[in-house]
């Protein structure tokens, strides 16, 4: 029978969760931290381990327990059948769970209840050669970028959408907006006279504000939407308002926009379309037309060009055309001998 969690450990868990709330973390973040650390302490209780006195081996065992579960599965949903590796959760999910545990033990170290953190941090550069690696490797798959035909299908499917949704799609692409940035736009952030959008620092992931332009097409959609918006409410506030009978005139949330994009992708036969696709496509298009990487980083609101490089995904056709125009003859000359071609 599982041993109860020591009272001291349970108190520290509750204190840490309260601390996250008092630090004004987003409610969803606090809830995720609470679920994650509660799951870990349940794992410890099943094995009779005091959560205040775990070792790296306990963390490794917990990681194995997580891998044995189906995606999204709780402790009651573990999959013990090793013949079904395809049901394992993603590396991103595993890293998220371990990050929660690591933050909890950072707190314990700061409080003087432990001297070390049992969850190893992944390090870059020289430190990685010293064996200082994270328990779960980072996988960075290429972002999905729609082809010209796929993007045209998305636009064709959007033609019948309300003008608000079409404007949001256009702004998301024109300005490379994150979902949160788009939904947080206020009417006062728009400068129609100069076709500029101000993305306020407090609405961004990196807390870096920026001002970016939008196209004439988007300007026409904006003018049409503002006429509709005046019927929903005269207050400046949020730009995008709900038209549903239940929430009429209230700002729409990021999940509403996610549902709109998901439905649009379904109608366009582009199931991989997401709210971030327009941002990826915009930054890639800027690279296609010759923008400097630093200019693209500033446009995107990235602190580092390394982040920008992860977003830019030139298609095989783009790279093939550039290769043919700039490097094909050089490569041919260097490899001529092994092909039996006389130099």
Give catalytic status of residue 178 as yes or no: yes
Give catalytic status of residue 279 as yes or no: yes
> Catalytic one among 33, 214, 225, 311?
311
Quick check: 119 and 105 in contact, CB under 8 A? Answer: yes
Give catalytic status of residue 107 as yes or no: no
> Catalytic one among 95, 179, 279, 280?
279
Q: At CA 279, angle to CA 225 and CA 260, rounded to 5?
A: 50
> Catalytic one among 95, 102, 107, 178?
178
Cβ count near 265 (within 10 Å): 20
Give catalytic status of residue 62 as yes or no: no
Quick check: 51 and 9 in contact, CB under 8 A? Answer: yes
Tell me 116's DSSP state: S
Instruction: For residue 183, give Cα distances in angstroms to 92, 101, 177, 249.
Output: 25, 31, 9, 14
d(CA 254, CA 186): 14
Quick check: 263 and 270 in contact, CB under 8 A? Answer: no
Quick check: 175 and 199 in contact, CB under 8 A? Answer: yes
Give catalytic status of residue 194 as yes or no: no
> Catalytic one among 133, 276, 294, 332?
276
Give catalytic status of residue 276 as yes or no: yes
**List of residues 6+ apart from 12 with CB closer than 8 A:** 51, 52, 107, 108, 111, 113
> Catalytic one among 164, 229, 280, 302?
302
> Catalytic one among 3, 47, 56, 205?
205
d(CA 54, CA 13): 14
d(CA 260, CA 136): 34
Quick check: 293 and 308 in contact, CB under 8 A? Answer: yes
Neighbouring C-alpha atoms within 13 Å toward the C-beta of 209:
10
Query: Which positions are catalytic?
Result: 178, 205, 276, 279, 302, 311
């Amino acid at each position: 029978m599982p041993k109860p969690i020591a009272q001291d450990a349970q108190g520290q868990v509750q204190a840490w969760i309260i601390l996250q709330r008092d630090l004004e973390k987003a409610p969803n973040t606090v809830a995720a931290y609470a679920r994650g650390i509660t799951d870990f302490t349940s794992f410890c209780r099943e094995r009779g381990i005091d959560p205040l006195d775990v070792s790296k081996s306990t963390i490794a065992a917990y990681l194995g327990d997580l891998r044995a579960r189906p995606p999204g599965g709780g402790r009651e949903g573990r999959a013990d059948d090793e013949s079904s590796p395809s049901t394992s959760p993603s590396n991103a999910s595993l890293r998220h769970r371990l990050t929660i545990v690591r933050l909890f033990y950072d707190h314990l170290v700061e409080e003087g209840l432990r001297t070390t953190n049992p969850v190893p941090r992944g390090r870059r550069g020289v430190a990685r050669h010293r064996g200082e690696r994270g328990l779960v490797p980072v996988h960075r798959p290429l972002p999905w970028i729609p082809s010209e035909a796929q993007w045209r299908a998305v636009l064709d499917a959007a033609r019948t959408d309300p003008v608000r949704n079409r404007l949001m799609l256009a702004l998301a692409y024109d300005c490379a907006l994150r979902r949160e940035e788009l939904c947080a736009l206020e009417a006062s952030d728009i400068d129609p006279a100069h076709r500029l959008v101000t993305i306020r620092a407090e609405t961004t992931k990196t807390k870096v504000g920026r001002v970016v332009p939008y196209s004439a097409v988007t300007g026409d959609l904006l003018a049409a939407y503002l006429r509709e918006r005046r019927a929903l409410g005269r207050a400046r506030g949020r730009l995008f308002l709900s038209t549903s009978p239940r929430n009429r005139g209230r700002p729409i949330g990021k999940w509403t926009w996610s549902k709109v994009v998901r439905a649009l992708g379904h109608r366009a036969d582009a199931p991989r379309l997401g709210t971030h696709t327009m941002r990826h496509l915009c930054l890639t298009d800027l690279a296609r037309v010759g923008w400097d990487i630093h200019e693209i980083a500033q446009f995107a609101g990235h602190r580092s060009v390394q982040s920008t490089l992860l977003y830019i995904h030139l298609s095989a056709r783009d790279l093939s055309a550039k290769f043919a125009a700039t490097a094909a003859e050089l490569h041919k000359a260097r490899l001529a001998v092994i092909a039996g071609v006389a130099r």
